[in-house]
Amino acid sequence: MKQIPNIENIIIAHRGNHNEKIPENSLAAFKISLKENRPIELDIQLTKDNVLVVFHDYNLYRMTKENLFVQDLTYKEIQKFNLLDTNEKIPTFEEVLKLVKGQVLLDIEIKNTKRIDDTCNKLVELLKNYPNNYLVKSFNPLIVLWFKKNAQNIPRGLLITEKYTNNKLINILVKSKLIINYCQPDFLAISKKMLTQKKWQKYKEKMPILVWTINSRKEISYQEKNIGYICNIPFKN
């Protein structure tokens, strides 16, 4: 029987505990999260040779100054580059699992991709013998639906933001009850700007909700029920 980890009033480190000297989504950032016993949010995507790596952007430029795309590179090629001005490399998801070992909750965002089967199958394979202390989520309803059909034992969430594209119809559709019913998520992960809207207040009564991205303690309301917070740690103020 599937058990969804309790996310009520939990504070999750957005891409690990990162700052000016410690890059996001790095092993160094995750090690600090572990020391603080802090749940970790991270992003995964496939390299050209089907290695799951932990990296947020599709393009490497912001974090490495290399104008290249993860999906076009092999893992060996990616390892040539450092994260920002540090010695940290882009880690594999397998490296992160070996580091964390189920000690804290992993909030795993699956980046949008056309290689849904390859990505999700690889993820399920790596999680097969891992402690059941994780969630998966995605902006892509088809990825959420994949887990509904193929890995129902894994808690799955739908990421929702106030604006996806400049196409009004798409913005309405992806936030509609129709899409939520279609992919049947176990929880929702919504932008903090949407939390006060009546529509999402009603969903709190139906399923757990994660709110992203919180930048200060002032933005956290522990009076909310069924709410978890994805935060930039340490807080800016």
- Cite the active site residues: 14, 56
Say which amino acid occupies 33: S
What DSSP string runs through 97-166? HHHHTTSS-EEEEE---S-HHHHHHHHHHHHTTS-S-EEEEES-HHHHHHHHHH-TTS-EEEEE-S-SSS
Q: Which amino acid is residue 140, in one-letter code?
A: N
Q: Sign (positive/negative) of CA torsion 68, 70, 74, 78?
A: positive
Structure tokens at 70: 């993860």
